[in-house]
Amino acid sequence: MKSILVWDLPLRLFHWLFAASFVGAWLTAESDEWLSLHTFLGYLMLGLIAFRLVWGLAGSRYARFSSFLYGPRAGLDYLRQTLSGTAKRHLGHNPAGSQAIFLLLGLGLLVGLSGLFVQGGEEQRGAAAGVIGYALGKAIKEGHEVLAELMLLVVFAHLAGVALESWLHRENLPRAMVNGRKEAEPDAPAVRSHTLVAVLLLLAVAAFTAWWFQYRGSETGVAFIGKKLPESALWQEECGSCHQAFHPSLLPARSWKSLLAQQDRHFGDDLGLDAATLAQLLAFAEPNAAEQGETEAAWKINRSVPANATPLRITETPYWIKKHHEIAAADWNKATVKSKANCPACHLDAEAGGYEDAAIRIPG
Ligand code: HEC
Ligand code: HEC
């Protein structure tokens, strides 16, 4: 027997970075405080998986998928042989281990992609910003969490398998994933190290890390892309002359109904709208009201209003009050603000109806 290189350098680098990004993302999943780091690790994981897919076709012998393409049946047979102590040693991945690898790559991909949509829907940030609404993002989050838990289970199964194999064949498999070497028959061919590819992979990870934290660090670098909400020219025209046209997503449908029914007593004004115009306005407001949960504001405003209440002011909904009670009187009294209903004074995306975190600026 002689010691030969079995795992090339890019494969080992991938392995440990992939493991670290999963553990890191798991540890930063709970709190909003860690959200930036959590999403960074998610994108990193997706990038690493993309690399692994290429390397599974173009890598050295034992890195290639074709060298460990076993079905679940072969995996089970191998497990059975392992338990009866008759399993044959494999220089590359064994049939049971390969199942864990494909599962981890597949689950990693699903966890990463679903996370992208959670971020896009809930925060209107990242690669999927503007694609889906808040309510859908929140629903996808449930799936994102279940997938991550499944992935954790497979990680534990993988660790148990490595421990069992190491013991059974009296070899240190974790160490082999560090130095890449295993004991082999004298005629077994070693693989190339592919150092250049590993260096390029490391550089790509380093560049992405630097870009992410530099970009996030500078406030001006934060691009804001919210979901585009439905618009109506008539609504703009009839409701946008005295104040900004509040987007229908800011109040429940019953509020718009009631507000329009009282249009002749509109906060001291008579809007003087005829029945046909009112019907058209309502036909826009009702299907786009807060109940749709297209933005975080819509979803939270709707949840905060008791079922038996029909607020006529956005500024009287519990969620609005909760979000603004800490703003100083001096800020409300500024010439550029004046009224609580002057949302665009502080919300850059008020006209579009988004009210995303990244678009809030109290005027100086
Ligand atoms: C003739 C002027 C005028 C027009 C036109 C008008 N409004 Fe108003 N609206 C007001 C005034 C005045 C207030 C009270 C503003 C304040 O308290 O600062 C108000 C307040 C509101 C508020 C409550 C804002 C808050 O405090 O949360 C809503 C909602 C609203 N209007 C919706 C509409 C809709 C919908 C239309 C179109 C059908 C409309 N307005 C058209 C004058 C108008
Ligand atoms: C004087 C400036 C100012 C005005 C005017 C103002 N807001 Fe805000 N708003 C803020 C600030 C600051 C926050 C952030 C509060 C926090 O997160 O603690 C905020 C938060 C919010 C949020 C929650 C955003 C989030 O995701 O955390 C919503 C929704 C919102 N405002 C809606 C409105 C609407 C609708 C109006 C007009 C009816 C309005 N605001 C008027 C300053 C303002």
Question: Of all protein residues, whose CA lies closest to atom 9 belonging to ligand 2?
Answer: 324
Report which bound ligand comes closest to the CA of 313: 1
Which are the contacts of 113, defined by CB distance < 8 A and separation ≥ 6?
A: 46
8 Å CB contact between 8 and 52: no
- Mean of per-residue pLDDT scores for the chain: 93
Q: Is 246 in the pocket of ligand 1 (CB under 6 A)?
A: yes
pLDDT score, position 364: 81
Q: What is the pLDDT of residues 197-208, one digit of tens each?
A: 999 999 999 999
Residue 342 Cβ contacting ligand 2 at under 6 Å:
yes
Residue 224's pLDDT is what? 56
Closest protein CA for atom 17 of ligand 1 = 341
Neighbours of 301 (CB within 10 A): 26
Confidence check: pLDDT of 126 > 90:
no
Average pLDDT over residues 159-182: 94
- Residue partners of 357: CB distance under 8 A and separation at least 6: 123
The pLDDT score that the predictor gives to residue 220 is: 43
Instruction: Give the nearest ligand 2 atom to 340 CA.
Output: 5
Question: Which residue is closest in CA terms to ligand 2's atom 37?
Answer: 343
Per-residue confidence (pLDDT) for residue 348, from 0 to 100: 87
pLDDT tens digit sequence for 232-273: 999 999 999 999 999 999 999 999 999 999 999 999 999 999
The residue whose two tokens read 């603000």 is 337
- The protein residue whose alpha carbon is closest to atom 6 in ligand 2 is 343
CA of 214 to the centre of ligand 2 (A): 27
pLDDT in tens, 135-160: 999 999 999 999 999 999 999 999 99
| The pLDDT value given to residue 223 | 52
Alpha-carbon span 306 to 311, nearest angstrom: 10
Task: Report the alpha-carbon distance of residue 7 to residue 4 in Å, rounded.
Answer: 9
Is the confidence at residue 32, as pLDDT, over 90?
A: no
Quick check: 22 and 151 in contact, CB under 8 A?
Answer: yes
Residue 327 CB less than 6 A away from ligand 2? yes
Nearest to 167 by CA among 104, 89, 252: 89
Instruction: Give percent of the chain above pLDDT 90.
Output: 82
**pLDDT tens figures, 187-243:** 888 999 999 999 999 999 999 999 988 876 554 434 556 788 999 999 999 999 999
